[in-house]
Amino acid sequence: MSAIVDWYKDLMYNRNDPRTNDWFLISGPGPILTIIVTYIYFSISAGPRYMRDRKPYDLKNTLIAYNFVQVLLSIYLVYEGLMAGWLYHYSFSCQPVDYSNDPLAMRMAHGVYLYFLCKLIELLDTVFFVLRKKQRQISFLHVYHHAIMPICAWIAVRFVAGGHGTLLGVINSFIHVIMYSYYMLAAFGPQIQPYLWWKKYLTMMQLIQFGIIGVHNVQVLFNGCNYPKVLAGLLTINSILFIYLFGAFYVTNYRKTSQPKKEETERKQSQTDAVKDKKSD
């Protein structure tokens, strides 16, 4: 046990990013783990029990405002990620972490921290589902995704607030610009639904996102880059897992549902052709 404690202390207090040591919620894993455990408990147990005998809340205006703010935050994160490194200064093949107080390095560190805070804010996605009694939307994929991302972002702020792994945040924020724009439009009501035919393409974009992130991180394992290989490996594994989960979601919700429609269309077409042939006879 003493060896484990010594390893933990060395990891947390000797190998961390010294610039972010005293930032809010970053000084230790206790707060973030408490938030995530509370989130999971509320999502799958406390929240549904609270809403069991209550009518769904009408959160239309709240959702419009919330999603609009998320779009703005995501745009800002993309801009900061590009200007602080990925547009001019960072290498896509290998980008070590700059632990100095250089203005660009600190700009990226603050961008990583804002990304972490946004992952916490996004837990409200599930809270809104619960309050609207949309429990069917709270799948394993949904809860896992919302629970693991704040932890990943916390690790980034605590240990590597910059460098190679930050491309994940830039790409993910770009996807979220589109995703929360969709959610904001959907919140306006049924009159907008005919214009939201592109929902399935969001899932396709997420799959492409995880593919890019996986390839981007796996190269660090082989090219001698001075970036923590453990983190690059974990990001690669997580990307593969997300590809599987989102891929299964896409097949279940779009490929399988489109097959009966295709068969129905073909059946109706066959009936129409038969009638035409009969008339021609």
Instruction: List active site positions.
Output: 145
- Distance, in Å, from the CA atom of 232 to the CA atom of 55, rounded to the nearest integer, reads 45
CA distance 120 to 167: 19
Contacts of residue 106, defined as CB under 8 A and 6 or more positions apart, other chains included, come to 19
- Give dist(CA 172, CA 205) in Å, integer: 10
- CA dist., res. 85 & res. 177, Å (int): 20
Which stretches does DSSP call E strand in the chain?
none
Rounded CA gap, 207 and 250, in Å?
Answer: 9
DSSP-assigned letter for residue 55 = P
- Identity (one letter) of the amino acid at 60? K
- In the chain, DSSP finds a helix count (H) and a strand count (E) of 11, 0
CA distance 261 to 267: 10
Are the C-beta atoms of 164 and 94 separated by less than 8 Å?
A: yes
